[in-house]
Structure 1
Amino acid sequence: MDSQIQKPFKVYLVSSPESPEFTLLTRSLTQSSLVGLDAEWKPVRTYQSSFPDVSLLQIACQLGGDSEPVSAVFLLDLLSIPLSSLWKPLREMLESPETLKLGFRFKQDLIYLSSTFCSHGCDPGFDKVEPYLDITSLYNLLYLKKHGRNAPKQTKSLSNICMEVLGFPLSKELQCSDWSCRPLTEEQITYAAMDAHCLVEIFNVFNSKVANTGDFLLKTTTLSNTMENVGLKELFAKHDLNDNALGMQFCEALSIVRSTIGSAAGQVIPSAERTIQRLPCSVNVPSDEFSKIVKKYGDRILLKESDRRPKTSKKKAKKRSSTNGISNVKHLEKFDDWQGIPPWDPSVGGDGYPKFLCDVMVEGLAKHLRCVGMDAAIPYSRKPEQRELIEQARREKRVLLTRDAKLLRYEYLINNQIYKVKSLLKNEQLLEVIEAFQLKISEDQLMSRCTKCNGRFIQKPLSTEEAIEAAKGFQKIPNFLFNKNIEFWQCMDCHQLYWEGTQYHNAIQKFIDVCKLSD
């Protein structure tokens, strides 16, 4: 693996107080002065009479000296482990002045976590996290330095912050999956571990570039206008501040996680007992520097009594209008499933080739459809109006794919062909659309469209020399491809070049498996 990549971190699933993973967890909580916190629960409606139960609590710990830091992510299965065994060590860690807690808008997580423990007899729950640092605050400190003290604060997702600071985005595809189902899938374990681990990695960048470099934020001169459009990742490079975390790619990060969790989801890590024996006692952030960081940048979360009560909607409920005694809700339920003739059907003037328009809620589905050879467009603008979506679908004779239930409220959409996608995961969404529209997928169709723009490839493949000429000033071809006898393909619309490398063959095999073409 590339030498730039951070040392692999281990993932431990904690589901029993008698397990070695639990022993390692409790020892890590007392010895680590830096932890990252996140929580997952089953998706719920915005307004309800009670808080949802937290199903999974992720704790990323960093221990060890500067020469050999040890990183571990503990996934606490709150549906399996007795919460009474966790209440004391968690409360001590959350309130310990010697442990700096990291989170991303963690207050809501704390409210749900406290409610979960209270409902299982651990009353009082948790009402304080101190000292605490929100990753959003760290990002804003970096952003203000780049753009000046008067620049407005940014509202960034954790994925976008990771992209700018660490160089890779976080996939949020599983954010709304049902975290109450057991066993957890390997993908869920990977997602949950990365969400907690990235908090520690972002802090490490902040610590090395800001907190321990002579008050970098306060003493460095304002950047020149020529750098005002440079991202934070490039900003560090301009100041010759190299960091291993900046070279980490998301796909490589996934391989690190998967290499530690084994092939089966929920597998117990056999190395937990050995890890306990060699666990270092020193922490990664020196105590004097830790005190400076806490004093200067530290914050806290305090829950008030009002935070412990679920909020109810203040909006007056609208009366459901009815047609012939049938409510609109029931009236529109029938449009959840596909019905009627698709606009590409020759009987209604179509050309016989399926064509879809994926709105922003299922944009990832568009790329999956392209990978299996389907014509799948996305909206012209990032925030299209509903009528713009309808007009684009009508003009291009496409079926509009969406997860937005609000679109189903307008009866004029019925004649413009709309399909509400029910599945949450892209692979399942793809299979759902294939089945709903009876699409014929063959192995020859795979990877036959440009995943970037939806264009078709030039039918005749390009030689290496032709590809080099086509790529000049547009796209860089890796040098190691020059000595290989491979064919290149170019999109007729955006001119993006593709070649049959490892990623191509992996993608082919993936969609053969997803679409069950080998059966």
Structure 2
Amino acid sequence: MEPEDQKPLTIYLVSSTDSPEFTHLSWALSRSSVIALDAEWKPIRGRNSTFPSVSLLQIACRLAGDDSTHQQDESLVFLLDLLAIHLPSVYELLRDVFVSPNILKLGFRFKQDLVYLSSTFCSQGCDPGFDRVEPFLDITSIYNFLQQKPPGRKIPKETKSLATICEEVLGIFLSKDLQCSDWSLRPLTEDQKTYAAADAQCLLEIFNVFQVKVIKEGKSFHNNSKLHFSNLDHGLKEIFEKPSSCNQILRTKFGDALEIVRATTTSEFSLRIPIVDGVVSRVSCMYTIPMDDSLFQIIRKYGDKIILKDSDRKPKTSKKKGKRQSSVGLICKEKRLENVDDWQGPPPWDLSLGGDGCPKFLCDVMVEGLAKHLRCVGLNAAVPNVKKPQTRDLIDQAQKEKRVLLTRDAKLLRHEYLIKNQIYRVKSLLKNEQLLEVIETFQLKICEDQLMSRCTKCNGRFIQKPLTTDEAVEAAKGFQVIPNCLFDKNLEFWQCMDCNQLYWEGTQYHNAVQKFIDVCKLKE
């Protein structure tokens, strides 16, 4: 079950600067005080002397609405196809957005993305490339605030994944199945577009939760997020408010759209110029609507920036010295591993061994995403009890709980003598394929009634009796936020018996059920 009923995303694929989609992007950026950034590239196996080339840049824009709580703000997601666009033609626009003091940029571990973007644009003659993003907020910092963890500028190396943060903050299952797909292939599939857009859009949704909490706790000044059009010519007001006028702009070229914004912006639209350590930061020449006071106060208190150093622009090379293993030795080693890779059986839950017949797995950190997929099809899948488990910790937990340890670490197979028939090395890389591999290897029977019957957060079972809306509201107090839009839908709520997480059968739930019906081929 998925705890969030999300609206479908509005996605624009931008493949040319002469396209209506690019003009719409420029217009959206001029109206957005908050945007989310993400990037995709073709995965590179092993160490390489060059950075990967970014294939896609995602920009999710939060257009200012009329509701003071931002509930009416509109979100648009733009996918910039950097393989199709002439990069120098968009370089200045993106650079100005990255440093505009009137646009807060959101990202998740975005420094690496910025390094790769800089390298990609430099390779097309856009030297020196992007070197900074400010003001900036990392989603990990927002997550730490929501979890009431001590504030700190530096993001720890060991942080939770975006999918985990998304599930804990929003109650949404964010699939990462396509993360390692080949983003250099064209055309992009519809699944790839949806995946890329969702990655950027969820950053905005997490920030919305953060902003509401900051305002409620009185950590910002009075929220005055309404757009005041008194400083605008009547013509621009109509453009922003009337769809017909907006469509007229979409048919113009980018240069024309920019001139319209410039012509209708008065001198009262002054930029707030950030001063850091007594030095005035570089200011974007991009024309945008100034952000409201509440957002400005959030940036002053929690804002950060990303600045690239010269050392960041060079791929890291291994400093380890020693004799390289020959290819013959590697082949022999792989052949030795193949002999112990196959499952021998029987598993510890086998009835002939005194087991209860219920499959139970332990997924180490290398296949932690597989654990959630196993839970989604109703299987008991645990993760390590400690944050950074040693081999002995994994073996002890698997032995004590009578689970099969799933891993991709071939070294763990050496410990087969300690827990016989309780270690299996997963061969597949993608989670969907890993799920099928486990189902086939252990000859598991999956039925549609089992789907979404476990808590994807903690592996617990659901309380059998569904909760009414009133019961769910009471159970969620001080623990979980239930969207107001669900109250008039007469939905049944389900609660995990272990962690008390609430779930309901929304759009995401039905999509997830259909996904696993297809993956497990239940209707064939």
Q: In structure 1, the residue corresponding to 2:13 is in which secondary structure?
A: strand
Q: 1:127, 1:302 within 8 Å by CA — same for their partners in 2?
A: no
Q: Does 1:77 align with 2:51?
A: no
One-letter code aligned to 1:90: L
1:109 has 2:109 as partner: no
| Amino acid paired to 2:386 | S
Q: Is the 8 A contact 2:359 2:380 kept in 1?
A: yes
Structure 1 unmatched runs, 5+: 210-232, 246-270
Equivalent pair of 1:34/1:100 in contact (CA under 8 Å): yes
- Aligned mates of 2:53, 2:78 — CA distance in 1: 19
What SS does structure 1 have at the residue aligned with 2:399?
Answer: helix
Alignment of 1:237-252 (within 5 A): 237-239=216-218
Any conservation in 2 of the 1:159–1:170 contact (CA below 8 Å)?
Answer: no
Cα distance in 2 for partners of 1:122, 1:457 equals 57
CA distance in structure 2 between the partners assigned to 1:87 and 1:321 by the alignment: 45
**Which residue, 110, 122, 127 being the options, matches 2:125?**
122
Match in the other structure for 1:177:
180
* Greater shift in the superposed pair: 498-507 or 328-337: 498-507
Partner of 2:90: 86
The answer to whether the 8 A contact 1:366-1:376 is kept is: yes
1:103/1:199 contact within 8 Å kept: yes
Tell me which residue corresponds to 1:222.
none
Task: Tell me, in whole angstroms, the C-alpha distance in 1 between the residues paired with 2:164 and 2:505.
Answer: 30
For the pair 1:516 / 2:498, whether they are aligned, the reply is no
Counterpart position of 2:315: 310
Q: In 2 relative to 1, CA 5–362 (structure 1 residues): closer, same or farther, beyond 3 Å? A: closer
1:25 aligns with: 25
TM-score normalised per structure 2: 0.64
Deviations 1:76-116 (A, max 9, x none): 12233343543454345446677665544433222212222
CA distance in 1, matches of 2:79, 2:338: 39
The equivalent of 2:231 in structure 1 is none
Counterpart for residue 229 of structure 1: none
State the match for 2:53 in structure 1: 53
Match 2:363 to one of 337, 358, 361: 358
Question: 1:51, CA displacement in angstroms?
Answer: 0.8
Equivalent pair of 1:101/1:129 in contact (CA under 8 Å): no
Matched AA of 1:80? A
Residue 48 of structure 1 and its aligned partner are, at CA, apart by 1.9
What's the offset of the Cα at 1:329? 4.6
Q: Distance in 2 between matches of 1:502 and 1:97?
A: 38
Q: How many residues in Structure 1 have an aligned counterpart in Structure 2?
A: 453
* Structure 1 contact 12–75 (Cα < 8 Å) conserved: yes
Whether the 8 Å CA contact 1:321–1:327 is kept in 2: the answer is no
**Aligned 1:399-414 pairs, distance under 5 A:** 399-404=404-409, 407-408=412-413, 412=417
**Conservation of the 8 A alpha-carbon contact between 2:163 and 2:175:** no
Work out which structure has the larger RCO, using CA pairs closer than 8 Å and 6 or more positions apart in sequence.
Answer: 2
Alignment counterpart, residue 431 of structure 1, candidates 431, 436, 443: 436
User: Is 1:291 aligned to residue 273 of structure 2?
Assistant: yes
Aligned to 2:337: 332
The 1:185–1:424 alpha-carbon spacing in structure 2 relative to 1, beyond 3 Å, is: farther
SS of residue paired to 2:138: helix
In angstroms, what is the RMSD of aligned CA positions? 5.6
State how far apart, in whole Å, the 1-side matches of 2:33 and 2:504 are. 47
**1:276 maps onto 2:250 in alignment:** yes
| CA offsets 1:225-283 (integer angstroms, 9 cap, x no match) | xxxxxxxx6564343989899xxxxxxxxxxxxxxxxxxxxxxxxx9956626989489
- Going from structure 1 to structure 2, the CA distance change for 1:69 and 1:449 (only over 3 Å counts) comes to closer
Offset, 1:454: 5.1
The match for 1:380 among 380, 385, 403 is: 385
- Alignment check: 8 A CA contact 1:321 1:328 kept: no
Equivalent position SS for 2:386: coil
Q: Which amino acid aligns with 1:514?
A: V
Give the match's secondary structure for 1:134: strand
> Counterpart of 2:518 in structure 1: which amino acid?
D
Q: Is the 8 A contact 2:106 2:137 kept in 1?
A: yes
Give 1:135 shift: 0.8
